Amino acid sequence: MKRMQDRVAVVTGAGNGLGREHALLLAREGASVVVNDLGGTVNGVGGDGAAADQVVSEIRAAGGKAVANHDSVATPEGAQNLIDTAIKHFGRVDALINNAGILRDKSFAKMALEDFEAVLRVHLLGSTYCTKAAWPLMLEQKYGRVVMTTSVAGTSGNFGQANYGAAKMGLLGLMNVLAVEGAKANIKVNAVSPGATTRMTQGLGAVSGEIDELMQPAHVAPAVAYMASEECDFTAHIITAAAGGFGRVQFFETEGVQFDPRQPVTVDMFAQAVAVLTDLSTAAPVAPGVLGQMPARLATVGIQF
Ligand code: NAI
């Protein structure tokens, strides 16, 4: 079964690495693919349409359907033009894979704010602009699949990547809210947290040579293709994918403590409860919505609402 038959997918940053594999696999699964890439270096300098064109040629040579787009996702105009390209050539957008990214690594102490902003602009704002352009179409057709690309640099932290980690966590906030807002229109918004040897990670020395070879970007693409397909019925999930291994990252909250809010609550009371309220053995997944554990906790001191 071809999971993306008659579907249209837009993949950003699809000229290299992970995006390229996502585009190739989505095309093999039957999707018409818009291959976006402005070219440029890992640091986001320069631009060259050849990378996207090459992937389009590969897809077409294999009998698939694809067009290239060379806009930068980091401007609202570029993102709009990308989505317009999909409409012009294929008439709709079913899946949007926000994958484009750059690095400007430095310790926070040494990082220029310009480099902080440049990374946020491509990852966080670029994904926002593309999703914003596709969103009304998805709402209208009552169907959509959006995949964000997050990173362990955000969910776990990594030295020298304050800009990147902040952008990647920002994307998860965007995902959570859009998952709620898109629910009634059958729009599922999920994230992949990949690990792969690409030009972005080559030489970073995170893992040894042998493992490096096993971390093929093609091993990440199946998770993305699934989340881009109708078969995917979950939303706001963060799926890890590296070297053929897959998992799920989820935020948890502890059972915590509850004081009577009709009485003063002091720092001393908090200090005495720290060990209990931070004890993860009582943690449960956070539920969508803004109240969290509050109703359950207040019930323990006799307050119902
Ligand atoms: P890559 O450097 O091979 O590919 C990124 C692509 O995005 C490049 O082709 C680049 O030209 C394109 N791009 C950059 N800025 C753009 C813009 N403004 N508009 C359009 N295209 C743009 O890197 P890789 O590893 O394939 O990364 C893909 C995504 O996966 C990124 O979001 C990255 O942060 C994320 N990621 C990768 C990990 C890995 O282990 N490779 C780990 C965690 C996250």
In short, whether 38's Cβ falls inside 6 Å of ligand 1 is: yes
Q: How many domains does the chain have?
A: 2
Q: Which of 10, 11, 12, 16 to mutate to test the pocket of ligand 1 (most atoms within 8 A of CB)?
A: 16
For residue 175, the model assigns a pLDDT of: 98
Average pLDDT over residues 105-126: 98
Q: Are residues 221 and 276 in the same domain?
A: no
Q: Are residues 166 and 38 in the same domain?
A: yes
- Residue-wise pLDDT for 45-80, tens only, equals 888 889 999 999 999 999 999 999 999 999 999 999
pLDDT class of 290 with cuts at 50, 70, 90: confident
Decide if 97 is inside a domain.
Answer: yes
* Separation of alpha carbons 143 and 30, rounded Å: 18
Residue with more model confidence, 111 or 46: 111
In short, whether 191's Cβ falls inside 6 Å of ligand 1 is: no
Q: Are residues 218 and 265 in the same domain?
A: no
Q: Are residues 26 and 154 in the same domain?
A: yes
| 164 carries an active-site annotation | yes
Q: Are residues 175 and 294 in the same domain?
A: no
Q: Are residues 141 and 190 in the same domain?
A: yes
- Identify the domain containing residue 265 by its residue range: 252-299
55 alpha carbon – ligand 1 mean position (Å): 15
Beta bridge partners of 191: 148, 238
252 alpha carbon – ligand 1 mean position (Å): 29
Q: Whose CA is nearest to atom 44 of ligand 1?
A: 151
Atom of ligand 1 nearest to the CA of 51: 9
Decide if 1 is inside a domain.
Answer: no
In short, whether 2's Cβ falls inside 6 Å of ligand 1 is: no
Question: What's the burial of 104, exposed, middle or buried (CB within 10 Å: 0-12/13-18/19+)?
Answer: buried
Q: Are residues 214 and 289 in the same domain?
A: no
Q: Are residues 96 and 191 in the same domain?
A: yes
Q: Are residues 141 and 158 in the same domain?
A: yes
200 alpha carbon – ligand 1 mean position (Å): 7
Q: Which of 71, 80, 200, 220 to mutate to test the pocket of ligand 1 (most atoms within 8 A of CB)?
A: 200
Question: Contact, 256 vs 297, CB < 8 A?
Answer: yes
Decide if 84 is inside a domain.
Answer: yes
Decide if 2 is inside a domain.
Answer: no
Question: For residue 56, what are its two tokens?
Answer: 């389009």
* Separation of alpha carbons 61 and 245, rounded Å: 30
For residue 212, the model assigns a pLDDT of: 87
pLDDT at residue 133 greater than cutoff 90: yes
pLDDT at residue 104 greater than cutoff 70: yes
In short, whether 215's Cβ falls inside 6 Å of ligand 1 is: no
Among 129, 143, 164, 226, the active-site one is 164
Q: What is the CB-side half-sphere exposure of residue 220 using CA atoms within 13 A?
A: 28
Decide if 304 is inside a domain.
Answer: no
Question: Contact, 191 vs 239, CB < 8 A?
Answer: yes
Looking at 249, 269, 284, the residue that finishes a domain is 249
Q: Whose CA is nearest to atom 43 of ligand 1?
A: 151
Atom of ligand 1 nearest to the CA of 20: 26
Q: Which of 18, 96, 117, 151 to mutate to test the pocket of ligand 1 (most atoms within 8 A of CB)?
A: 18
Q: Are residues 159 and 282 in the same domain?
A: no
Decide if 305 is inside a domain.
Answer: no
For residue 146, the model assigns a pLDDT of: 99
3-state secondary structure of 285: strand
CATH number at residue 203: 3.40.50.720
Decide if 203 is inside a domain.
Answer: yes
Count CB atoms within 10 A of the CB of residue 22: 33
Q: Are residues 193 and 282 in the same domain?
A: no
193 alpha carbon – ligand 1 mean position (Å): 12
Average pLDDT over residues 142-155: 98
pLDDT at residue 206 greater than cutoff 90: no
Q: What would you measure as the largest C-alpha separation in the chain, in angstroms?
A: 72
Decide if 3 is inside a domain.
Answer: no
In short, whether 130's Cβ falls inside 6 Å of ligand 1 is: no
Q: Are residues 220 and 283 in the same domain?
A: no
